[in-house]
A and B are shown apart, each in its own frame.
Chain A
Amino acid sequence: MTFSFYQTLTTIPRELHEATRVFQLNRWLSLKTMELPFATLPLVWNSMMSWAGGWFFLMAAETFTVGERDFRLPGLGSYLQTAANDGDVRAIFMGLGTLIVVIVLMDRFVWRPMLVWANKFKVESTESDDPPESGFYNVLSRSWLLEQFGRHIWSPISERIDLTMGRIFGGASAKRGQTEGRSPLSIVLLGIGGLALAIFLAYNLQGVVRMLVALPVSDWGRIGLGTLATLARVVLSLLIALVWTLPVGVAIGSNPRLAAPLSPVVQIVAAIPATALFPIALLVLLRLPAGLNIAAVLLMLMGTQWYLLFNIIAGVSAIPQDLIYMSKLLQLRKWDRWRTLYLPALFPYLVTGLITAGGGAWNASIVAEHTHFGGRTFSTTGVGALISEATARGDYALLLGATLTMILTVVGINRLFWRRLYRLAEEKYRVE
């Protein structure tokens, strides 16, 4: 959400910025009239995604042990976790059902209306053909009560706030025009802040280094092996996801009649946290050899394949109509069509989708590789398992080492692999 806000600030059209300065809007008015509205739509989308992401760790966040201490917070997550621990299948299904109901209700009564409202802030030159709709929003917008509230209570309050803010900030922005550097006061404050941060970091750094050095070599060996194992699982889950999302995504994306009924269904299915379904999957898979490994890959898959699917659907709908006609006219065979049209055109979207899905898969490894079910603990080789184990045992040194290694691995892959692919996608495969 922070990133999205920052991003939108950098994309405000230059002339809008200049207009705000020319008309001498003070800091508060400028925020209220230009910056916040501009950021609202992406912020709402990102909030929806963050919200969905929050559900993912529901179980892990409400019931966990750190060393000696056992935390259990009252909540749906704890309910599901306890049900899984007891192997109580009926309870699991009930909990899952409640979860689905909550998600659907939130979607209808909170997110959709917010999205419709936020569309007001879209910077578009024409009305979109397909604006989002929400029955609940329509009810709210026609509500007499809300209108009275807006007119008699909200408007005057808003005016008052603007006036007060004007007195506090007023005139300040007029002077801001000429100064291209910062004011001396802010430089001093920044300097002090920076120094304080540096000292804090240095102090903690030496504690960190001490802990890492104290870690025995055998533990580093486990971390290394675990990272490789998790990496293998991540790659496998991405490949499996790719294999099914590509044809399905292209089918949905090129067929708007399919898209309309399927898309809300897909969105809701995507929102159900995979971690809640995990115990059920385990029930079946644990009987098989290498059961937990398969289950882990499955969990990663469930959590991340949706990113890929959505990106592919978006990519297909962005392919210019002429290219599609061309490939039909030439009567290309299926494979040729994929090779010359779909795969190159989708390349940038695939890269974006894979990067996000990959990140989600690494995330999922923490809950997927080490789990409690039916009173027993199942664990497999992997850096995610190490992190969970270390947390449960209170082995902070191992936790630190494993977490750092995971971070470095993911960042390393991002820089060396994904960045290059991204640049390739931008230069060669952009459809202009």
Chain B
Amino acid sequence: MNSADNTPLLELQHVSRHYGKEHHRFTAVQDVNLQILPGEFVCLLGPSGCGKSTLLRMIAGLAPTSEGQILYRGELLTGVNPHTTIVFQTFALYPWLTVLENVEVPLKAQGMPLDQRRRMALTQIDRVGLDGFESAYPRELSGGMRQKCGFARAMVVQPELLCLDEPFSALDVLSAESLRGELMELWLSKAIPTKAVLMVTHNIEEAVLMADRIVVMDKEPGRIVGEVVVTLRHPRRRKDTTFQAIVDRVYALAIGKTELTADALGTAPGSPGRTIGLPNVPIGQMTGLLEKVSEEGVRHDLYRLTEELTLELDDILPAVEAAEILSFALVEQGDIVLTPLGQTFVEASILTRKEIMAGRALRLPMIRWIYETLQQDDDHRAAEEFFLDRLRADFGDYAEQQFDTAIDWGRYAELFAFDDDTDELYLEPN
């Protein structure tokens, strides 16, 4: 596992990345401090939007930092990092080049002559198990084989740090499993001269299966919330109790704890203070989640819940957040707990549910802001653009998504609705 060499290969010091200017700033990553030592397999784990891919790109030198610095072997990183390569989620192979030509590309870029490149590329292709397919084009290959080509290409220049950006997400379950095994074999048998691996993923099990150290991140703003060291011996088995225990721990860290403070809800767009976005989930999914939980009683382990529903962290997180901010449930120690209000909600009829929802939703600054704006208008109508403008200031490109979510919640609660023909919001008469 860890080698005796303790000087970090990669070091991030107070790294942040934002977009936009002073008051309309979107922070993708905030104050990240990270080290990667030689011999480590590190995973960056978190829900979508937590900035893990942004971090990867900064480490590869594809994006600059807004604050802080990145050191590679003690030297400041400026420009593309020549010691790392990336395996991409969507493979990113050149469709008009054969497998062999694709794998040769990085060597060609280094100015290596034809014969030498060919030999090195063929060795790499053999190593990943694609021999026989050298003259095939990517469109003739299955997803798993395309990613193998991606691996071969990334490894052909023998990078010190191999970066993987959700490499198995676009593959079917079986191909992913097979590829994971092959990658681990290459890594553990030290068949490749790579000194460290950094993998970005949102799949907790995958991370526990492969990594020596899991760095857990959260979003809004993107930041590191903790680390879990995994000392299990390889080969690791999913069904082992020790494995499950670690998965639970990571889960708890990733999902966090419900914040009950008053300012946890934030303020309305346009008002001073932090505006917190609505979780991107339709109410229907949240009610589904609550109903599922209530089947067990009041409390349910979140990890088990995702297994039963064959969901992933990303799928369930927004629904959990929605339940939290509407006070229908709490999260503690990796469990979701229905509040008395949540229980009432689940047992109520559709109409009663809508009333409860209306009451709770109006406590959210964004919904209340929309409602009050409509109330103040003579016709109780207002144009979509008006709201989008204010939302753009706080959410940038996510403004439309926030708006759509607010409309969905508002419609369910029968507070307000959207007229698609005139692009206006209007108050529901009651």
Binding site for B on A (CB under 8 A): 13, 15-16, 18-19, 21-26, 29, 33-34, 37, 120-127, 159, 162-163, 166-167, 170, 173-180
- Closest B residue to A17 by beta carbon equals B92
Chain B residues, Cβ within 8 Å of A180: 64
Q: Which 7 A-B pairs have the closest CB atoms?
A: A177-B80, A177-B79, A15-B92, A19-B92, A23-B106, A177-B61, A15-B88
- How many whole Å from B202's CB to the nearest CB in chain A? 17
Taking A19-B88, A125-B139, A178-B61 as known contacts, 10 extra A-B pairs with beta carbons closer than 8 A to each other, sorted by chain A number, are A22-B62, A22-B80, A23-B157, A24-B82, A24-B106, A121-B96, A166-B111, A177-B64, A177-B80, A178-B78
Report Cα–Cα, A33/B92, bound state, in Å. 13
- Cross-chain contact B57 with A18 (CB below 8 angstroms): yes
B89: which of A15, A159, A170 is its contact (CB, 8 Å)? A15
A170 to B96, CA, bound (A): 24
Contact of B79 among A34, A167, A174 (CB under 8 A): A174
B398 at the interface (CB under 8 A from A): no
Q: Within B54-112, which residues are at the interface with A (CB < 8 Å)? A: 57, 60-62, 64, 78-80, 82, 84-86, 88-92, 94-97, 105-106, 108-111
Q: Is the CB of A123 within 8 A of B106?
A: no
Evaluate contact between A16 and B111: CB separation under 8 angstroms. no
How far apart are the CA atoms of A163 and B80 in the complex, in Å?
A: 21
Report how far A239 CA is from B97 CA in the complex, Å: 47
A166 to B113, CA, bound (A): 12
How many whole Å from A32's CB to the nearest CB in chain B?
A: 10
Interface residues of B in 37-67 (CB under 8 A from A): 57, 60-62, 64
B114: CB under 8 A from chain A?
Answer: yes
Would you list 21 pairs from A and B whose C-beta atoms are within 8 A, ordered by A residue? A13-B90, A18-B62, A22-B60, A23-B106, A23-B109, A24-B82, A24-B109, A25-B109, A29-B109, A33-B105, A120-B96, A121-B95, A121-B96, A125-B139, A127-B139, A159-B114, A163-B111, A166-B111, A177-B78, A177-B80, A179-B79
- When distances are taken between beta carbons in the complex, the residues of chain A under 8 Å from B79 are 174-179
Contacts of B60 in A (CB 8 A): 22
Kindly state the separation between the CA atoms of A22 and B59 in the bound complex, as whole angstroms: 11
Docked pose: A158 CA to B57 CA in angstroms? 32
Cross-chain contact B82 with A33 (CB below 8 angstroms):
no
- What is the bound-complex CA distance between A142 and B85, given in angstroms? 39
Contact check, B109 vs A26: say whether CB atoms are below 8 A apart.
yes
List residues of chain B with CB under 8 Å of any chain A CB: 57, 60-62, 64, 78-80, 82, 84-86, 88-92, 94-97, 105-106, 108-111, 113-114, 139-140, 153, 157
With A33-B94, A37-B94 known to touch, is A126 a contact of B139 (CB < 8 Å)?
yes
User: Which chain B residue shows the least CB distance to A37?
Assistant: B96
Q: Is the CB of A21 within 8 A of B95?
A: no
Q: Which residue of B lies closest to A166 (CB)?
A: B111
The residue on B at minimum CB distance from A156 is B114
With contact pairs A33-B105, A162-B108 given, residues A22 and B97 touching in the complex (Cβ less than 8 Å): no
Q: Which of A15, A29, A34, A127 has the most CB of B within 10 A?
A: A15
Contact of A25 with B105 at beta-carbon distance under 8 Å, contacts A19-B88, A178-B64 already known:
yes
Contact call A124/B139, Cβ cutoff below 8 A: yes
Residue from B92, B96, B97 in contact with A18 in the complex, judged by beta carbons closer than 8 Å:
B92
B79, B109, B111, B114 interface centre (most CB from chain A within 10 Å): B109
Question: Residue on B with the closest CB to A25?
Answer: B109
Using A19-B92, A22-B80, A24-B82 as known contacts, say yes or no to A177 and B105 having CB atoms under 8 A apart. no
Q: Which residue of B lies closest to A24 (CB)?
A: B109
With a CB–CB cut-off of 8 A, which chain B residues contact A120? 96
Partner of A24, one of B80, B89, B114: B80
| Residue numbers in B under 8 Å from A15 (CB-CB) | 88-92
List, in ascending order, chain B residues with CB within 8 A of A22's CB: 60, 62, 80, 84-86
- Which residues of chain A have C-beta atoms less than 8 A from B91's C-beta? 15
Q: A24-B106, A163-B111 are contacts. A16–B94 as well, Cβ < 8 Å?
A: yes
Chain B residues with CB under 8 A of A19: 86, 88, 92
Please, how many angstroms separate the alpha-carbon atoms of A157 and B406 in the complex? Answer: 61
- Name the residue among A29, A126, A178 with the largest chain B CB count within 10 angstroms: A178
**A25-B109, A178-B78, A180-B64 given; A122·B95 CB < 8 A:** yes
CB pair A174 B80 closer than 8 Å? yes
* Chain B residue at smallest Cβ distance from A121: B96
For B89, the chain A residues whose CB sits under 8 A away are 15
A13, A19, A127, A163 pick with most chain B CB within 10 angstroms: A19
- How far is B151's CA from A19's CA once the two chains are assembled, in angstroms? 12
Alpha-carbon distance A123/B139, docked complex (angstroms) = 9
Alpha-carbon distance between A50 and B52 when the two chains are bound, in angstroms? 46
Q: Which residues of B contact A127 (CB under 8 A)?
A: 139-140
Among B64, B91, B139, residue most surrounded by chain A Cβ atoms (within 10 Å)? B139
Which residue of chain A lies nearest to B114 when distances are taken between CB atoms in the complex?
A159
Residues of the B chain whose Cβ atoms lie less than 8 Å from the Cβ of A176? 79-80
A26: which B residues are within 8 A, CB to CB?
109
Contact of B95 with A18 in the complex, beta carbons under 8 Å: no
Contact between chains at A34 and B94 (CB < 8 Å): yes
Q: Contacts A124-B139, A177-B62, A178-B78 given; indicate if A18 touches B86 (C-beta within 8 A).
A: yes
Query: Considering the chains assembled together, what is the distance between the CA atoms of A327 and B92 in angstroms?
Result: 41
Cα separation A108 to B91 with both chains bound (whole Å): 37
Considering the chains assembled together, what is the distance between the CA atoms of A15 and B57 in angstroms? 11
Whole-angstrom distance between the Cβ of A122 and the nearest chain B Cβ: 7
B80 in contact with A29 (CB, 8 Å):
no
Contacts of B84 in A (CB 8 A): 22
Give chain A residues whose Cβ lies under 8 Å from the Cβ of B88.
15, 18-19
Closest B residue by C-beta to A428: B420
Q: Point out the residues of chain B lying under 8 angstroms from A25, CB to CB.
A: 105, 109
Q: Inside 8 A of B109's CB, which chain A residues have their CB?
A: 23-26, 29, 166
Question: Once bound together, how far apart are the Cα atoms of A361 and B129, in whole Å?
Answer: 59
Chain A residue nearest to B63 in the complex (CB)? A177
Report the minimal beta-carbon distance from B333 to chain A, rounded to whole angstroms: 38
Q: B114 — which chain A residues lie within 8 A by C-beta?
A: 159
Q: How far is the CA of A288 from the CA of B113 in the complex (A)?
A: 74
Distance (Å) between the CB of A59 and the closest chain B CB? 40
Minimum CB–CB distance for A228 against chain B, Å? 34
Measured between beta carbons, the chain B residues less than 8 angstroms from A122 are 95
Contacts of B80 in A (CB 8 A): 21-22, 24, 173-174, 176-177
